[in-house]
Structure 1
Amino acid sequence: MQIPGKLKSGDEIRIIAPSRSACILSEEGIQMAKERLQQLGFTVSFGRHVFEKDLQNSTSIEQRVEDLHDAFSDKQVKGILSVIGGFNSNELLPYIDYELIKKNPKIFCGFSDITATANAITAKTGMVTYSGPHFSSFQMVKGQEYQTHFFTQCLMQDTPFELKPSSQWSDDAWYLDQENRNFEETSWKTYQAGTAAGTLWGGNLCTLNLLQGTDYMPNLENAVLFVEDDEMTIPETFARDLTSLLQTVKSLKALVIGRFQRTSNISEEQLLFILDKHPILKGIPVLYDVDFGHTQPMFTFPIGGEVLVDASAEELKLVRF
C-alpha cells in the first residue's frame, strides 16, 4: 500500500462534498470547523461546488467528481476532508479517475457514507485512505480533544501508536445542542480473545456492502475488518448486513466493531446473539464497543493500513498508516 504524505502545519486542506453538500451546515458551524482546523495550523479551502445543492441536498455527479479531481490535481492541496456523509457517494465510483489519484497521492478522510469512496479509492489505487472526522465534525466542542488527538496522531506523524479508549462517550445530537450533552463511561469489550495483525479495511457496514459485486470492492481475505453502523440500523438489519459481508471471505484476521447509537436498539445482548451465529468469529480476535463510527468522540484509522489487534488486552495499535 502507498502511504500518502503526512500533513504538517501550514498545509492546505481542501473541503469537498462527495455526498451531501455544506448547504445543510449553519454558517456558524462552518466557521467553527474552519477555525478549529486553522488552529491546528492548516489552511482551509473549499471545492467549487461544496455549497450548492439539489433536491437531496447534494450536487450532480459531475460537480462532485470535478471537485474531487480538482482537489487531487491541485499541488497546493495536501489533504482532503469530506464535508459530511449522506447516502450517495457510491454514485461517483465509475467516474473517478483513479490513475489521477494514484499519481497525486494525498490524505483523503471522512466516514459514514464516505466509506464507499474511501474503500474504492484504496482498492483501485493501492493508496491508503482514512476513516475519520468530516469537516463538519470539527464543529463539535465537547469530545473534540479526543477526536482531534487521534486525527493528528494518524494524519500528522508516522510512528506506530496505540489507539486508546475515550474516557467517556455520547450519542447526543450535539450539532443541535452543544451545551446539554450526556456522557457515559466507556470501555472496549472482548467477544473473542486473541491477537492478530493485518491490513485494515472497513468503515460503515451498510455502505461498505454497497460495493459488493462491483469492481470497487476490496479483497477482504485475511483482513482486519472494522465495521460500525448508524441510527438507521436495527438488530435485524445489522445481522443481515454483517452476514452478507462475512460470506464474502473464507478467512479473517480479526473483527473490530464500533459503538452503536442508542436508537439502533442493538444492545449488548442483541450483539452477542448476532455474533454467536458465525463460526468464523469463534477463532479470531473480536472487539466491540470501540470508539469509531456515529457516536462521539471517534478516532481516525487507515483503510489499507496495518493494525495490530490484541482483543485479550482490549488494545489496538496502528503500525503502518
Structure 2
Amino acid sequence: MIIPKKLRIGDEIRVLSPSSSIERTGGLEANQVAEETLRKLGFKVTFGKHILENDVLGSASIESRVEDIHQAFLDEHVKGILTSIGGFNCNELLPYLDYELIKNHPKVFCGYSDITALSNAIYAQTGLVTYSGPHYTSFKMRVHQEYQTECFRNVLMSEGKHQLSASDTWSSDSWYVPDYTPHIQQGEWKIYSEGKASGMSVGGNIGTFNLLQGTRYQPADEAVVGFLELEEEGDFRDFTRAIASFLQAYTPKALLIGRFPQETEMSEERLRLVLGKYPELKSIPVIYDMDFGHTQPIMTFPIGQVVHVDTFSKVVSFFDE
C-alpha cells in the first residue's frame, strides 16, 4: 500500500477530464467558482492540456486523456489531481495507462462516479491509495460545501487518524443549476445490521465498479469493506442486480451504501427488501444513507486503505500508517 503525500497550502492541483469533457459542465468559465474555492483553500489550480477537447461522444480521445494523466503524475510541481466530472467511459483508458509511471510518482488522485473505474484500477495495479471524493466542479456547490470541504481537508491535508461521520443535512437537488431551491433534509446514517469490522476499502459507483469484474483491474483483496452508490441515471432495479453481482465477486467484511438520488426511486422499504435477500448481510455491519455518491454533500474516503466500521458509534475510521 502506498499512501500519497498529503496536500499542503500552496500546492498545485491539476484538473483533468478522464471521463466526460469539462465542456459538459459549461467549460472553464462556468466553473470559475470552483477554482476560486480551491484557491481560497490555498491551492494553485492548473488544467490538463486536453481539458477542453470534446468529441461527438462528449469526451476527449483515449490518447488525449491518457496523455493528460501521465503528464499530471510526471509533473513534479503537481501534488494532487482532481477530475472535472464523471461520465461513462473512464474504463476504456485502463489498458493504455503506464502503471509503473503512476506507481513511481505517487500523488493524491480524487474523483467519483465514473472515475470509480480509474481509482480502483490504479489501486489494483500499483497499490497506490486513491480517493473517492469531490470532483473539481463539486467545489462550486453552495449548499453543504462546509461539510464537503472540511472532509476533503481532513482526509487529504492532515496526517494520522481520520473519522468519517454523517453530515447534519443533505439534499438531492440539481445544485449546479444557478437558480434552484434546495430541499434540505436531516442527515443521518442508518443501520441495517450492527457490528464492527475492518477491511480494505473498495468500490464507489456500483455499476462502474462492476465493470472491472473479471479483468486485471479489479481489486483482488479478500477482506474488503465495500462502498456502493448509484447514480441518478440508474434506478432501484439497477442497484438490485448490481449488488447481486458485487456479492458474487466479494464476501465483504462490511457494506457501506451511499444515499440514493431521488431519480432512482429507491425507497427505504425497497432497499431493505433488497438487502434482506442476502442472509450474509445480517451478520456483517451494513450502513446506508451515507454521504457519498450522487447526493449532496459528499465525503472523501480512500480506495485501497484499511478502514474500520463501527455501527454503534456510526463512525468509519482509518489511519495513515
Please tell me the TM-score bracket, short chain as reference: over 0.9
Alignment TM-score, normalising by the size of structure 1: 0.97
Aligned to 2:194: 193
| Distance in 2, Cα, partners of 1:196 & 1:71 | 36
1:42 aligned partner: 43
Q: CA deviation at 1:162?
A: 1.6
Residue number in structure 2 paired with 1:171: 172
Structure 1 unaligned blocks of 5 or more? none
Q: TM-score, normalised by structure 2?
A: 0.97
Query: Partner of 1:306 in structure 2?
Result: 306
Q: Report the alpha carbon displacement of residue 99 of structure 1 after superposing the two structures with TM.
A: 0.2
Q: Which residue of 1 aligns with 2:159?
A: 158
Runs ≥4 residues deviating over 4 A: none
1:272 corresponds to 2:268: no
After superposition, where does 1:66-77 map in structure 2 within 5 Å? 66-77=67-78
Structure 2: give runs of 5+ residues left out of the alignment.
Answer: none
Q: What amino acid maps onto 1:2 in structure 2? A: I
Q: Which stretch of structure 1 is more off in the superposition, 148-157 or 158-167?
A: 158-167
RMSD of aligned residue pairs (Cα, Å): 1.2
How far off is 1:28 after superposition?
4.3
The equivalent residue for 2:283 is 283
Q: Is the 8 A contact 1:220 1:252 kept in 2?
A: no
Alignment of structure 1 residues 224-235 onto 2, 5 Å: 224-235=225-236
Helix, strand or coil at the partner of 1:51: coil
Whether the 8 Å contact between 1:17 and 1:50 is mirrored in structure 2 is yes
- Displacement of 1:232 in angstroms is 1.9
How many angstroms does 1:313 deviate by? 2.7
* Correspondence for 1:22: 22
- Match for 1:50: what amino acid? I
Q: Share of identical aligned residues, percent?
A: 52
3-state SS in 2 of match to 1:2: coil
Letter in structure 2 aligned against 1:175: Y
Q: What displacement does 1:306 show? A: 1.9
Q: Distance in 1 between matches of 2:25 and 2:281?
A: 40
Which residue in 2 is equivalent to 1:123?
124
SS at 2:143's partner residue? coil
8 Å contact from structure 2 (residues 174, 180) kept in 1: no
- Name the aligned partner's letter for residue 110 of structure 2: C
Given that residues 102 and 126 in structure 2 are in contact (C-alpha distance below 8 angstroms), is that contact kept between their aligned partners in structure 1? Answer: yes
Offset, 1:320: 3.2
Deviations 1:63-92 (A, max 9, x none): 000000000000000000001000000010
TM superposition shift of 1:177: 3.3
CA shift at 1:260, angstroms? 0.4
CA distance in 2, matches of 1:158, 1:252: 27
CA-to-partner distance for each residue in 1:205-255, whole Å, 9 max, x for gaps? 000000011110012421111110111222221110000010012x32100
Tell me, yes or no, if structure 1 residue 204 matches structure 2 residue 178: no
